[in-house]
Structure 1
Amino acid sequence: MNSTLIFGLQSTTPSTPEWSLTVGIIMILCNIFAIVVGYYAISKENRGQGPALPVSLPRVFTGFGFPELLATASFGHILGAGVILGLSYTGVL
């Protein structure tokens, strides 16, 4: 493989921040935001179709099951990764 191609790709790779308490808090907040938005975005007819969570949740999250938690947490991690990379790119992190 051509070494100039590899070196060219390495120079365009963005730097990522190392894990810190700030990064962890941002990820947690993004996940909480995604879960709250997902709870209100998923219609009541479709909520709770799959298996229930093994823990009890507050009454606000009635009918919130495992598929909904998995979907919203996945969205929260994607959102959190974008926020963390965006903040590190702008120099805030």
Structure 2
Amino acid sequence: MVYTTLLGAVTATGITTPEWSLNVAIVMILCNLFSLAIGYKAIQKSGVGPKLPVGLPPLFSNFGVPELIATACFGHVLGVGFILGLGNAGLL
């Protein structure tokens, strides 16, 4: 009962999401790069899991699959927040 009331209240507000465009892609890419930089500096025990199957520059010497998945997940969550916020503000 409560869930249907909350769902009705949320759908009645008319929240719209921006359509996919180059600006939306740029915001998502920047958020992922930002989270990659934060993750590289913040992850304390890097290189514990499996290595990436591609060659990396020496800067990312201990950056493996777990670190990539963690930073990409954080980057997408951050990107969705930015895209929804900028879209509702009318900037995208």
TM-score if structure 1 supplies the norm length? 0.86
1:14 Cα deviation from its structure 2 partner: 1.3
1:50-61 → structure 2 map (5 Å cutoff): 50-61=49-60
CA distance in 1, matches of 2:51, 2:14: 41
> Structure 1 residues 7, 69: CA separation in 2 closer, same or farther (over 3 Å shift)?
closer
CA distance in 2, matches of 1:31, 1:8: 32
Name the counterpart of 1:19: 20
1:37 Cα deviation from its structure 2 partner: 0.6
CA distance in 1, matches of 2:28, 2:85: 13
- Structure 1 unaligned regions, length at least 5: none
CA distance in 2, matches of 1:90, 1:8: 20
1:56 Cα deviation from its structure 2 partner: 1.0
What percent identity do the matched residue pairs reach? 56
1:7 Cα deviation from its structure 2 partner: 5.5
Name the counterpart of 2:38: 37
Name the counterpart of 1:84: 83
- Over aligned residues, Cα RMSD in angstroms? 1.6
Amino acid at match of 1:31: N
Name the counterpart of 2:70: 71
Amino acid at match of 2:54: V
